[in-house]
Structure 1
C-alpha cells in the first residue's frame, strides 16, 4: 500500500514539473514575437514574407522625406509590442516608375518630378505647350531656364499605343459594318444610291460578307433603271465570269452603256480593250478617245488635291524577295525612322514629313504628323522643311488653313538659302499673285533656278509658261523639253501635258500610240487606283476571294500589276484551278508585253491547265516570251527543248512503230536483194560526199578587179612573152599571168 502511495506521489510530482516548464516556454515564445515583425506569420509562408518585405523596402525609398516617419513607426511598433494587430499591416502601393525620355533635348535621361514649366509645377508628364497631344516632361526642375526635356514614350508606351490603335480600328470597322447593315435596309426599300453602295460592298466584301450572287441581282435591277455604275459592274461580271457564264459580247454591251452614261471606269476599260484588241477590233484612235476623257478628269483632280501616292505591289515579287523595298515599308523600319526623328535626326524628320504629306509605302496621309516633322526640322535650320511648310500653308488642308502670307515667309526664307522647293514656291506666288502682285518675269526667274537644280515642280511650271507663252515667247520645243524632264520624276501633270502634245501634234510629230500610252499612265493614277491597296490588304488578311475580285476589276482596267496578281492568286487557290478565266487574265497581261505572262501562258497550253492542251500554241507563246525579254531566253530555250522532246515522244507513240514494222515485209516490197540495192545507194552517196569535199579543198581565186596597164620595162631586160589565156567570153584578160588553178577549173567546165 505504501509502495502504491509512493508511486502516486512521484506521478503528481512529474505533472507539476511539466506544468511549470510549459509556463516558462510560453513566456519565452511571447517575448520572441515582439522584436521582429517578419516572424509574426506562419513559418510556412516564407516566400510571401520575402515579397512583402521587398515591397515595403521599395516603398520606403520612394522619397527621402518619408524615411523619418517610417522609422518613427518602427520605433512605436517596437515599444508597443502588446498592441500588435491580428492581421499583418497593409502593403504600400508600388511606387510609380519614373519614365526615361525619348528624343527632345535630353534623350535617355529620367524625368524630374515636380518640374517647373511656365511658372507652374507639374508632378507628372503633361501635354501642355504641345499641339499634337504627346506627353513630355522636363529632366531638370526649371524647364524655363534649362530647356531640358523629352517625350514620355517608352517602348511599353508605344506598345500600348499600338494595341489601342488596333482596338480602335476594330471598333471603327465594327461601327462601319453596322452602318452598312442599316444601309442595306435602306437599299431594300429601293433607294438607288444605297443599292449601288451595298451592291459594290457585297461584290468586294467591303465591311459586309461577300456575296457575288446577291450583288449581281441588285446590279441587274439598277441596270434596268439606267445606272451607269451598275451597267459597268455587270459588264465586269460577264467579262470575268463571276456569278454568270462568261460572255465577252454581253460585257462589251454593258461597258458601252456604262461609258455612254459617263462612268469613267467603263471608259478606261474600253480604252484598254481598243488598245489591245481585246474582244474588239484594235483601234488606237478609239482608245485615245476613251483614255483622254478619263485623263482630263484625273488631271483636274490632281490640280485641286495634289493627288496621292499609291503603291503597286506585285505579290509574286514579294513572295520571291520578302526583303524587297518595292512594297510597303516594314513597320519596324518606320519605327526606326521615327526613333531617329525623335532623337533629332533632321533627314529622318524631313523624310517622314514627306511620307505623311503625300501618303504611300503603307503610310496613310496625315497632314498633322507631316506638319510636326517639318516644324521640328525647320527649327533645326533645314531648308527643305521650311519650303514644305510653305507648300502646306500655300495649298491649305483640313489641318492647316490656307495662308499666303505665312507660306510666302517660309518660301522666301528657303529660297534665300538656295532651296529649289522654296524657289518654285516663290515662282508660283508671283505667277498666280498669291500674296504678292503678279510678276511673270520674277516667276520665270525663280522657276528657272528651281529647274536648274532638278526640282520637278519648277520644270513643270517652266514648261507650262513656254507652252502658253506666259512671260516668254511661246516655244513648244522648250515646253516639250521641260515636260520630258518633269515626267522623268513621275509628275502626273507632266505626263498629261506630253500626252496632249503628242495627241494633237503640237511641237512634235503626232503619235497616237505615244499619246495613248501617256494618257493610260495618267488614268492609272486616278482615285480608283486606291483599290490596289485595298486588295492588297484583303490578301494579307487572308481574304483571298475578296482580293481576287478587286484585282480582277483592276485587271480589266489595264493595270498590269493587277493582272499579274490575279494569276498569282489563281495559282494559290485550288478552287479556281478549273476556271477558264485564268488563261484569259494571263492573255490580258500578255498585251502588256510581259515575258512572265507569255511564258506562263505557254506553260498552261503545254500542260493543259484550265484549257485544252496545245503544244503548237505553247511553242508560239514561248517564242513570244523570248522575244519580249532577253532575260527569258534561257528558260525559254530549256522549255522549247523539253517541248521538242515531248512532241517527239508523242509523235512516236501516235505512230506505233512496232505494229507498223510488223506489217511491212521488205522482201516482198523491195525484192529479195533489197539489201544490195541499199548498199549501192549508200556507196554512191558516200562517193558524192567525198568528191564534194575534195572540190571544197581546192583553192579558188576569184577574178580581180580591172587594174591599169603595167609600165614599160627597161630594154636591157625584155620580158618573156606571157602565155596565151584561154578564150573566155565573160572574163576580162587584163591579168598577164593567169592562175594555173583557175585555168584547170575553166577547162573542166568546158569539158
Structure 2
C-alpha cells in the first residue's frame, strides 16, 4: 500500500514538472550570447593599449601582468571612498575584519581632525591607524608610514616609514608601492624603482582604460526580443558593414581619425575583420603623415613586436618618442621598456624610471589632488595640507610644492600637525624645507631658489653658503634669472663661491638676457661691481658692503618710527601741505604766463 502510494506521488511530481517546463520556456526564452571572438579568424584581439597575445611578443611583455588587476580606486587601502561618499566600498557584502574598521575610522577621523584643527582628535586617529597597522592592515601600514615620515603625531622616522611601506607594498598596497618607488628613485636605486614604477604604470593604464573606454570586444546578442538583432549582427560583418565602408571612405578622403580607426580594426581583427598587419600598417602610416599621435604609438608597437614588418627597435623608439612628445602616455610605457632593455637605444634605467613614473602618477590614486584642491578652494586649508602632504609622500612634485607653499603661506594658522600637537616654527620650517627640496630635485626651479634662500639667510636651517650656491646652481640650470643674479652676487662677495668679479658680471648679464625685468637690479649690481673693481678698499665699497647690515636697521626704523600711528598722521598732513603749496605755486606761475605784464608807454 505504501509502495503504491509512493509510486503515485512520484508520477504526479513528474507530470507536474513536465507540465511546467513548456511554460517556463515560453516565459524565459533561451538566449545565445556570442562574444566578438566568435566572429574572428584570429581570436587573440585585445585592447590597443594592452599587450598583444602574440607568441613573438614575449620579450615585449616582460612587465605585463597576466592576472586581471583589481581597480586600485576601490582597493581597501584607498582614501578615495572616505573622501567621496558616492564611491562604493570595495568590500561588498563581506563582513569587514576589525582592522578594516579601525583603518577606516582612523583615516576618517584624521581627515576630520586636520580639517577642524583638533590636535587631540588627530592624535587619537593616529592611534587607531597604529592599531590597525599592528593588526597587519596594508592600508593602515601605508598611512602610518606617511605619518612617521612626516613626523605627525609621532617622531620623524624615515627608516620606520620605509619599513612600513615595504610591508604594505609586499601585501599589494599600490600607494605604498608608489611611496617605495619614489624612495628608491630619490636614492638612485633605479633597478628597484623601475620595477615598481613599471608595475604601477601598467596598473594606471589599465585603470584608465577601464574607467574611460568600453571594452573593444563586447558580447553580441543575436536577438532583440523574438526577432534577430540585425543591427548588432551587421556591425560584425567586416568589410561588408556599412559603417566600415563609411569609415573607409572617410579615410580615403584624408580623415586622420578614420585612418587610425581602420588601422586599429585591421591590427586587432575587430568587427568581423580578419587580422591583417599589412593593411593596419598601411593605414597607420597614412595617419602618422597627418600627425595622428595614437597612430604613432601603435607604429612604435608594430616595429617593436615585428607585427607584419621586420622588427626594428630603432624605428620603434622613433615612433614612440614622437607619440610621447604629444603626451600619449602609453607611448611613455613603451619607451620605458626600450630604455630598460636597451633595445634601439642605449640602456638607461634613469630615463626608464622617469618615463614609468610619469605614467604611474596618472593612476587613480592621483584623484586625491582633486579633493585637495577642492578643500583649498573652500577654505579648508588643514585638509588640503594633509592631502597634498600625502600625495607629496607618493612623489608628486606639484603636491610637494603646494604643501610647502601652504606651510609657508599659512604658518600662523593651526593647520600643521607636529610630533606633539601643532607644529612649532622650527618643525614647520623643516617640513617646508624638506618639501621644497624634494620638489627642486624633480625640476622645480622656484623650489630650488627657495632652498637656496633658506640656506643663504638661515631660514629654518643653519646658514650654509655652499649649499645655497648648490641650490642656486640647480635653479640657474633651468634658466632662472633670480638664481643667476644671486650667483653673481655670491661671486662678487665671495660667499660660498670664489671671489671672481668676471664671473659675477657674467651671471648678471645672463640674468638680463633671460628676464628683461632684471634690468634695474642688474644695472645697480653692475655699478657696484664697477666701483668695487676701480675703487677697491674705498669708502664707497665699504658703504656698499654695509648695506645688507643697514637694511634691517632702516626697515625697523621705518616700521617703528615712520609707520607709528601718530607719526604717520603728521607725515601724511605734511605731505598734503607740501602738495597744496606746490599746486598753488604752479597755478600762480600759469596765471603769470597767461597774462604777461605790458611794457610802459604801450598804446591802449
Q: TM-score range by the shorter chain?
A: 0.5 to 0.7
Q: 2 CA distance for matches of 1:621 and 1:176?
A: 37
Cα distance, 1:218 vs structure 2? 2.3
Q: Could you tell me whether the CA contact under 8 Å between 1:599 and 1:622 is conserved in 2? A: yes
Q: 2 CA distance for matches of 1:560 and 1:179?
A: 28
Q: Could you tell me whether the CA contact under 8 Å between 1:623 and 1:636 is conserved in 2? A: no
2:449 aligned partner: 599
Judged with a 3 Å threshold, the aligned counterparts in structure 2 of structure 1 residues 406 and 421 are, in CA distance, closer, same or farther, namely same
Judged with a 3 Å threshold, the aligned counterparts in structure 2 of structure 1 residues 434 and 223 are, in CA distance, closer, same or farther, namely same
1:565 aligns with 2:402: yes
Cα distance, 1:427 vs structure 2? 1.4
Q: 1 CA distance for matches of 2:305 and 2:85?
A: 52
1:296 aligns with 2:202: yes
Which of 192, 195, 200 matches 2:107?
Answer: 200
Q: 2 CA distance for matches of 1:534 and 1:240?
A: 20
2:575 aligned partner: none
1:435 aligns with 2:271: yes
1:492 aligns with 2:329: yes
Cα distance, 1:304 vs structure 2? 4.0
1:508 aligns with 2:345: yes
1:556 aligns with 2:393: yes
Question: Matched residue of 1:244: which SS?
Answer: coil
1:532 aligned partner: 369
Cα distance, 1:607 vs structure 2? 3.3
Alignment of 1:36-75 (within 5 A): none
Q: Could you tell me whether the CA contact under 8 Å between 2:314 and 2:343 is conserved in 1? A: no
Q: 2 CA distance for matches of 1:177 and 1:424?
A: 37
Judged with a 3 Å threshold, the aligned counterparts in structure 2 of structure 1 residues 472 and 541 are, in CA distance, closer, same or farther, namely same
2:229 aligned partner: none
Alignment of 1:232-381 (within 5 A): 232-277=142-187, 282-306=188-212
Judged with a 3 Å threshold, the aligned counterparts in structure 2 of structure 1 residues 574 and 489 are, in CA distance, closer, same or farther, namely same
Judged with a 3 Å threshold, the aligned counterparts in structure 2 of structure 1 residues 218 and 486 are, in CA distance, closer, same or farther, namely same
Cα distance, 1:623 vs structure 2? 3.8
Q: 2 CA distance for matches of 1:497 and 1:570?
A: 38
Judged with a 3 Å threshold, the aligned counterparts in structure 2 of structure 1 residues 571 and 509 are, in CA distance, closer, same or farther, namely same
Cα distance, 1:270 vs structure 2? 1.8
Judged with a 3 Å threshold, the aligned counterparts in structure 2 of structure 1 residues 420 and 573 are, in CA distance, closer, same or farther, namely same
Q: Could you tell me whether the CA contact under 8 Å between 1:234 and 1:251 is conserved in 2? A: yes
Q: Residue deviations 1:663-720, cap 9 Å, x none?
A: xxxxxxxxxxxxxxxxxxxxxxxxxxxxxxxxxxxxxxxxxxxxxxxxxxxxxxxxxx
Cα distance, 1:628 vs structure 2? 4.4
Question: Matched residue of 2:379: which SS?
Answer: coil
1:612 aligned partner: 462
Q: 1 CA distance for matches of 2:160 and 2:211?
A: 37
1:68 aligned partner: none
Q: Residue deviations 1:324-382, cap 9 Å, x none?
A: xxxxxxxxxxxxxxxxxxxxxxxxxxxxxxxxxxxxxxxxxxxxxxxxxxxxxxxxxxx
Q: Could you tell me whether the CA contact under 8 Å between 2:472 and 2:483 is conserved in 1? A: no
Judged with a 3 Å threshold, the aligned counterparts in structure 2 of structure 1 residues 407 and 262 are, in CA distance, closer, same or farther, namely farther
Alignment of 1:19-168 (within 5 A): none
Judged with a 3 Å threshold, the aligned counterparts in structure 2 of structure 1 residues 407 and 203 are, in CA distance, closer, same or farther, namely farther
Q: 2 CA distance for matches of 1:418 and 1:219?
A: 59
1:229 aligned partner: 139
2:440 aligned partner: 590
1:636 aligned partner: 486
Structure 1 residues 267-276 or 540-549, which shifts more? 267-276
Q: Could you tell me whether the CA contact under 8 Å between 1:430 and 1:436 is conserved in 2? A: no
Q: 2 CA distance for matches of 1:176 and 1:235?
A: 20
Judged with a 3 Å threshold, the aligned counterparts in structure 2 of structure 1 residues 598 and 414 are, in CA distance, closer, same or farther, namely same
1:165 aligned partner: none
5+ residue gaps, structure 1, are 1-174, 308-391, 648-751
Cα distance, 1:192 vs structure 2? 3.8
2:316 aligned partner: 479
TM-score (norm 1): 0.46
Cα distance, 1:613 vs structure 2? 3.8
1:426 aligns with 2:272: no
1:747 aligned partner: none
Q: 1 CA distance for matches of 2:99 and 2:262?
A: 48
Q: Residue deviations 1:556-604, cap 9 Å, x none?
A: 2221111111121111112454323111111212221333212211222
Q: 1 CA distance for matches of 2:141 and 2:295?
A: 43
Judged with a 3 Å threshold, the aligned counterparts in structure 2 of structure 1 residues 592 and 177 are, in CA distance, closer, same or farther, namely closer
Q: Residue deviations 1:169-222, cap 9 Å, x none?
A: xxxxxx999999x99xx9999644444344333344499968533332222122
Question: Matched residue of 1:454: which SS?
Answer: coil
1:703 aligned partner: none
Cα distance, 1:622 vs structure 2? 3.0
RMSD: 3.7
Q: Could you tell me whether the CA contact under 8 Å between 1:554 and 1:562 is conserved in 2? A: yes
Q: Which has the higher contact order (CA 8 A, sep 6+)?
A: 2
Cα distance, 1:489 vs structure 2? 0.9
Q: Could you tell me whether the CA contact under 8 Å between 1:429 and 1:436 is conserved in 2? A: no
Q: Residue deviations 1:542-566, cap 9 Å, x none?
A: 1111111111121122211111111
1:25 aligned partner: none
Q: Could you tell me whether the CA contact under 8 Å between 1:203 and 1:549 is conserved in 2? A: no
Aligned length: 379
Q: Could you tell me whether the CA contact under 8 Å between 2:405 and 2:432 is conserved in 1? A: no
Q: Could you tell me whether the CA contact under 8 Å between 2:465 and 2:495 is conserved in 1? A: no
Q: 2 CA distance for matches of 1:207 and 1:237?
A: 13
Cα distance, 1:491 vs structure 2? 0.8
Q: Could you tell me whether the CA contact under 8 Å between 1:187 and 1:194 is conserved in 2? A: no
Q: 2 CA distance for matches of 1:599 and 1:514?
A: 25
Judged with a 3 Å threshold, the aligned counterparts in structure 2 of structure 1 residues 644 and 223 are, in CA distance, closer, same or farther, namely same
1:344 aligned partner: none
Judged with a 3 Å threshold, the aligned counterparts in structure 2 of structure 1 residues 412 and 395 are, in CA distance, closer, same or farther, namely farther
Q: Could you tell me whether the CA contact under 8 Å between 2:114 and 2:122 is conserved in 1? A: no
Larger of the two Rg values belongs to structure: 1
Q: 2 CA distance for matches of 1:639 and 1:264?
A: 47
Judged with a 3 Å threshold, the aligned counterparts in structure 2 of structure 1 residues 525 and 177 are, in CA distance, closer, same or farther, namely closer
